[in-house]
Structure 1
C-alpha cells in the first residue's frame, strides 16, 4: 500500500503501516471518512476523485472525474464535484464535493484504472454527451474518442438511451459535431466556432501538408488545402517553453517553404474575442484567395 496515494486508514492500520493516532497527526491529510493521503501530497482533482471512490465502497468514478482518471485533459474546470455511480442502492450520507448517481453499469462499462473503478471511455463519453452542455459534450467526446480510438457514431446505438429521449437528442447533436481527429479541447472549440461562420469555409482538422515534391511536411491543427492556409492554436506552453517555441519556429518556416500560410490563434482570440477572430480570419482568407488567384 502506497501511503503517498489516497488510502483507507483502517486498511493501513490493519496492515501495520500506521496507527490511528498517527493518522490524526501532522503526517497525514484527511480526504474524507476513513480516507487519507500523506501530508505534502498535492490534493488535486485526481487525488480527490480517488479518495472519494475509496470512501464509498463499490462506487464507480464517472463523468468529468472519470475523464481525468483516464488521463485525458478535457475537463471544463477544476474543483468540480466528484461524480460516483453507486448502482441502484441509496446512499444516505453524501459529503460535500461528491455527486452520487444511481445507475446500473454493464460489466464492460467499468474499467480498473490503477486500482480505481472508473466508467469506460465510451460510457464516460456517452454520459457526458447526453447530460453536459453541448460544447462541453463535444469536447469530452472528441478527447475520449481521440485518446481511445473509437468512432463517436458508436455511441448512438447504446441501449441506455432507449429510455432517455432527452439524453438521446443531446447525444445525437453532440455526435454530429464530434470529430475524433481533434487533439485538444481548444482545437475542438475553434473548429465549432468556425463551423457555419459566414464567409469561412469549414477547415479540415489535423490536415496533412505535403510540398510540391510530395514530401510530408507535417500536420496542422486546422487547414484549408485549397488556400494553403493553416490555423495553429498557440497555448501558453508554446510561449513559455523555449524548446516548443523553437520547434514552432522551425515548423512555421518549413510550412512557409512549402507555400503555406500559418495563422496563429491564441487563448485570447478563442475565449475573449472570438468575433474579432472570425472577422480577422475572414479578411485573411479573402486576401489569401486573391494572392493565389482563386475565386472566393
Structure 2
C-alpha cells in the first residue's frame, strides 16, 4: 500500500502503481520523483519524510527543523521548509532547504527509518542561524529529549572554531533551561526576562509537609506563590479542564495563585500578558 511519501520510480518498478496512474488524481508529486497519496496532509512531518525519500540514495540526511520534528521536538514555524544535508551538490528544489556537507556518523541517528542529525547536532545547527529566542527554544527542547547539557555546544564550538554563527552561543547556552517542557514555556520565560521581570523557576515542584510532590508548575515565582501554566490544545478537552480546575483549587489551599495562559496570550497578546503578570507579582508582594 502506498500510504506515505514514496519514490515514484521505485513504486513503478515494484509494480505497485503505473506512471499513468501517478499522473492522475490519486497522487500528488511534491518533489522530483517523490509522490504522496492525494489528501495526505502536507505538514512538516510528511514533507520531511518525502524529502528523505528524495535524498536517501545520495547519502542525504534530515537536519534542522525536520530532524528536530522526527526527534520529537515541534518548534518550527508553520511554514518551515523541510531540511536536508547532502554531501554533494544537487539542484535546488522548491520548498526544500538543502545544505551541502558530509555529516559525521557520530552526528547521526535513525528515527522512523530516516537518518537524521542527533539532538545535539540539530541544536548546534539551529542555534547558529535562528533568532536568539528561537535558538534558545530549540536548544531547550532538544537538550531535554537528547539528555545533553547545552554547555556541550560550547565544547563543540571550541573544536570547530571559525564555524559561522557561533558568536552568540554563550548567550544561548546561558539562557537555556532544558527542564522546560514546551517551546511556548521557553518563549514566555524569555519574554518575561527581556521585559525586566525576575526569571521564573522552570517546572517548579510544590511539596507537601512530607516532602511529596503535589504539583509541578510550568513557570513559578515561589516567593510570590504565583504559578503560571501554559495550556496547550489538550487543556481544552473537557475532562482536562475539570482536572485543571481541581488542581488550581488544590494549589490555592497551599496559598498559590494560578494564571493559565493560551497560545494567544503568549503570541498576539504578549504585552498584555506581561502586564498582567507584573500586576500579579506586585499584588502578591503586598
- What TM-score results when the alignment is normalised by the length of structure 1? 0.89
Give the corresponding residue for 2:190.
192
Q: Closer, same or farther in 2 for the Cα pair 1:40/1:271, shift >3 Å?
A: closer
Counterpart-to-counterpart distance in 2, 1:106 and 1:81 = 23
Greater Cα shift, 154-163 or 135-144: 154-163
Counterpart-to-counterpart distance in 2, 1:37 and 1:276 = 43
Output the aligned Cα RMSD. 1.9
1:136-169 residue CA offsets vs partner (Å, 9 max, x unmatched): 11111111111222211111111563122x5221
Aligned partners of 1:161 and 1:168 also within 8 Å: no
Aligned partners of 1:138 and 1:175 also within 8 Å: yes
Give the corresponding residue for 1:172.
170
Give the corresponding residue for 1:249.
245
Counterpart-to-counterpart distance in 2, 1:47 and 1:219 = 34
Q: Closer, same or farther in 2 for the Cα pair 1:227/1:115, shift >3 Å?
A: same
State the Cα distance separating 1:221 from its structure 2 match: 0.5
Greater Cα shift, 17-26 or 218-227: 17-26
Unaligned runs of 5+ in 2: none
Give the corresponding residue for 2:39.
40
Counterpart-to-counterpart distance in 2, 1:211 and 1:135 = 35
Give the corresponding residue for 1:293.
none
Unaligned runs of 5+ in 1: 291-296
1:109 pairs with 2:110: no
Give the corresponding residue for 1:218.
215
1:166-188 residue CA offsets vs partner (Å, 9 max, x unmatched): 52212222111111011111100
Q: How does 1:44-55 map to 2 (within 5 A)?
A: 44-55=43-54
1:99 pairs with 2:100: no
Counterpart-to-counterpart distance in 2, 1:213 and 1:289 = 27
Secondary structure at the counterpart of residue 182 of structure 1:
coil
Aligned partners of 1:131 and 1:170 also within 8 Å: no
Counterpart-to-counterpart distance in 1, 2:3 and 2:70 = 17
Counterpart-to-counterpart distance in 1, 2:167 and 2:215 = 37
1:198-231 residue CA offsets vs partner (Å, 9 max, x unmatched): 4x33211000012345342110001122222211
Q: Closer, same or farther in 2 for the Cα pair 1:227/1:47, shift >3 Å?
A: same
Greater Cα shift, 245-254 or 281-290: 281-290
Secondary structure at the counterpart of residue 96 of structure 1:
coil
1:208 pairs with 2:209: no
